[in-house]
Structure 1
């Protein structure tokens, strides 16, 4: 479908340390018949692009697609620019091209977007319609960008969908517009699943040391800055290994260097700022960066003293999915808490190595957490379980406090302020009287 990149190329990312290693099973690997995943490429592609409010999003799919239904429920009424083709049996058998053309006309008239993204799903990719040709025809008629996204769920998991969407931006949007005013300190931020608040924290930190954020990928209000993203002097990939492909491609085409950093924890944040500043080889920028780091670390140390007694030496077990399995380890350590074990199931080999590097000799790794976590909680006398909605049962059965990170993600734990937020919610969780009340034996059983 694309002459710019191939799906096969995306499965074998050259910047990944395990590229071409047949013995390693990583997230880039194609799904096999009978395998199951918690989300799919469509969901990842939509999440990556849906925050741009001046764009319209058309999911070219039948209404029976599970992911389409989930997106529809979660997107309304936040996204009035979201649409679904709702293809019926006749459309699938005889072709839905005429319906797609009418829908594109309607969307352009109704929303007047700067870009329309068409998400090609499992069914519509299999019936073999030339969506590219339809998009080009309507683009010429209406004079706006109409971009097909090959986001069939069977291609891979959510991270892979974000990778496809990012590469499609490289092919169709980046480089279409020149900057009115260019500086030597322009940077792009690339993130996979950052919230709006997290992206704002990243931007504030980057700008505090003297850089200018040109475009934000993965979370932004307008698509306009993306068109000029090729003028950046550095791409900053933030805790988003799946998007390394995009950064590498932009380096090949526009000669933009890139760094991969994390803002989870005080030390990671300080190291990230230093790493970014070093790329520019500018003495003034480096000195300013050191001043910002010193000021923020001193202020944070004073504020964290309030939580020292309640969090010190508490034992924590982490059972999450993806990069989060290791990302919270530095935060917990900086709060003087003891991470006893973390799950390393369903994560990339690079993320697995990150977890091992952080915890080797200091904790345990759960390869099958659903079978291991109960025993670890009881044997190690765990004080707190950090988990998601699927694994809360382990804390309930063993009667210990738990932090459901999916709910807690309403707060932001990145940057210096993020550590303070995390300490606050951990203290509240451990001291929450509700756990004692709920876990108390029922009176009629006594």
Structure 2
């Protein structure tokens, strides 16, 4: 039986608010949509934080360059971090003609013999998906031979963009890993964090607060994750989607199969971090836990507000344009609002319909939701009188041309802005950008020019 997900079902998700009437699909493929990252990229990004698993690209060597090491997703795994090694079958013209299944099987054998992973994720790419290589059969046989999960991930780039690739990755884990192992013990406060990739260590900004409250993270999908832990995820009491609503299909199906309820939270900024902690406690339904959570929130907010006092004057009256992707369209906007910065525009080009709705809710009716930021952001800066642009590295040149401050908040960033303490890091970076004279000087004419 094929494990290929039904793409149409993933596009029309009943758990999405805007899909209830079944008239509008989530990020349906459109011509040119994959130029911002294809389904393979999304699947790799979703699964790469599993450092104890090998990630094997069944396709041309060039396919491994799309997502490998594009995000800093640190791990506390004591063994060898296999995400630092790129594996690919490097199929050639001969494999297209005669089939690449033998090469794939040999590649899995080599990886298991030489690297001893806890699992092997096998990613199908456009070429073998078109030529018909049966990666399900190869993975099933190698799972039986080696005694470790070999998981087929059917995410060839042509099926859609990154968000769809993340959903496909969730389907693969749900079908081949979750429910295949029992935990050593359970607690009344076991949760799974779904969609938390631990970018720049953001998970570590708030996990210690959960532990202080007695809430155990049974597994994560997939930041600082372990294969053994995700296999036990069916015994959690609650699933917590961290920002990324692209994985709502996964949590909805876990609720149907295992009876695990789910909620969605963000841990960017003070307001959302506090709301997220309280939402988890309330969903777990323990009165004492809720009371202790409220006390912890009061303590952390009082501490943070005191530390933010020196920044308030710097940010007074400042306006920002936010050009990033997915859930960051609204989650980082919330953090900026906590600092007293008005967000006048945000990019929703790579956001789900749910993310777009949240962006509008957070920013209000007057804010601009940019659908084509590459052509819009310069004009928006002029129209709104923005003082600050937060985006990826490519937008630095727009900030220089418009002579406004710039801060990199994309996935390639090296600092963590998550949780309470992350807001302080963000405040310091924004202050340094706003007070940096280079943005005022770099585009100025030379003294001898008229």
Q: Is the 8 A contact 1:395 1:402 kept in 2?
A: yes
Give the Cα separation in 1 of the matches to 2:71 and 2:402.
36
Question: Who is 1:41 aligned against?
Answer: 39
Identify which of 384, 403, 409 aligns with 1:405. Answer: 409
Question: Who is 1:257 aligned against?
Answer: 261
Shift of 1:143: 1.9
Identify which of 350, 356, 359 aligns with 2:363. Answer: 359
Give the Cα separation in 1 of the matches to 2:396 and 2:52.
38
Give the Cα separation in 1 of the matches to 2:33 and 2:350.
12
Question: Who is 1:10 aligned against?
Answer: 10
CA RMSD of aligned residues (A): 2.3
CA shift in 2, pair 1:436/1:209, >3 Å? same
Question: Who is 1:150 aligned against?
Answer: 154
Map residues 9-158 of structure 1 onto 2, 5 A cutoff.
9-19=9-19, 24=24, 26-27=26-27, 29=28, 31-63=29-61, 65=62, 67-71=63-67, 79-158=83-162
CA shift in 2, pair 1:344/1:49, >3 Å? closer
Give the Cα separation in 2 of the matches to 1:305 and 1:10.
46
Q: Is the 8 A contact 1:162 1:192 kept in 2?
A: no
Give the Cα separation in 2 of the matches to 1:96 and 1:219.
32
CA shift in 2, pair 1:397/1:274, >3 Å? same
Larger displacement relative to structure 2 (227-236 or 377-386): 377-386
Q: Which runs of 5+ in 2 are unaligned?
A: 73-80
CA shift in 2, pair 1:347/1:221, >3 Å? closer
- Deviation sequence 1:293-325 (CA, Å, 0-9, x none): 010010011000011111111121222232222
Shift of 1:152: 0.5
The alignment status of 1:235 with 2:231, answered yes or no, reads: no
Give the Cα separation in 2 of the matches to 1:25 and 1:445.
55
CA shift in 2, pair 1:206/1:181, >3 Å? same
Give the Cα separation in 2 of the matches to 1:96 and 1:277.
50
Question: Who is 1:218 aligned against?
Answer: 222
Give the Cα separation in 2 of the matches to 1:368 and 1:99.
42
What secondary structure is seen at the aligned counterpart in 1 of 2:19? Answer: coil
- Deviation sequence 1:208-245 (CA, Å, 0-9, x none): 22211111112124211111111111111110101111
What secondary structure is seen at the aligned counterpart in 1 of 2:117? Answer: coil
Shift of 1:40: 1.0
Q: Is the 8 A contact 1:81 1:111 kept in 2?
A: no
Question: Who is 2:180 aligned against?
Answer: 176
Shift of 1:53: 2.2
What secondary structure is seen at the aligned counterpart in 2 of 1:287? Answer: helix
Give the Cα separation in 2 of the matches to 1:372 and 1:35.
18
Give the Cα separation in 2 of the matches to 1:152 and 1:5.
12
What secondary structure is seen at the aligned counterpart in 2 of 1:43? Answer: helix
Shift of 1:72: 5.3
Could you state the TM-score of these two structures normalised by the residue count of structure 2? 0.92
Give the Cα separation in 2 of the matches to 1:288 and 1:271.
14
Shift of 1:277: 0.8
Identify which of 295, 299, 302 aligns with 2:306. Answer: 302
Larger displacement relative to structure 2 (91-100 or 67-76): 67-76
Q: Which runs of 5+ in 1 are unaligned?
A: none
What secondary structure is seen at the aligned counterpart in 1 of 2:206? Answer: helix
Q: Is the 8 A contact 1:209 1:285 kept in 2?
A: yes
What secondary structure is seen at the aligned counterpart in 2 of 1:253? Answer: helix
Give the Cα separation in 1 of the matches to 2:31 and 2:316.
47
Shift of 1:109: 0.6
Give the Cα separation in 1 of the matches to 2:121 and 2:265.
29
Aligned residues: 442
CA shift in 2, pair 1:273/1:107, >3 Å? same
- Deviation sequence 1:339-359 (CA, Å, 0-9, x none): 222233342221111111122
CA shift in 2, pair 1:78/1:402, >3 Å? farther
Give the Cα separation in 2 of the matches to 1:72 and 1:260.
27
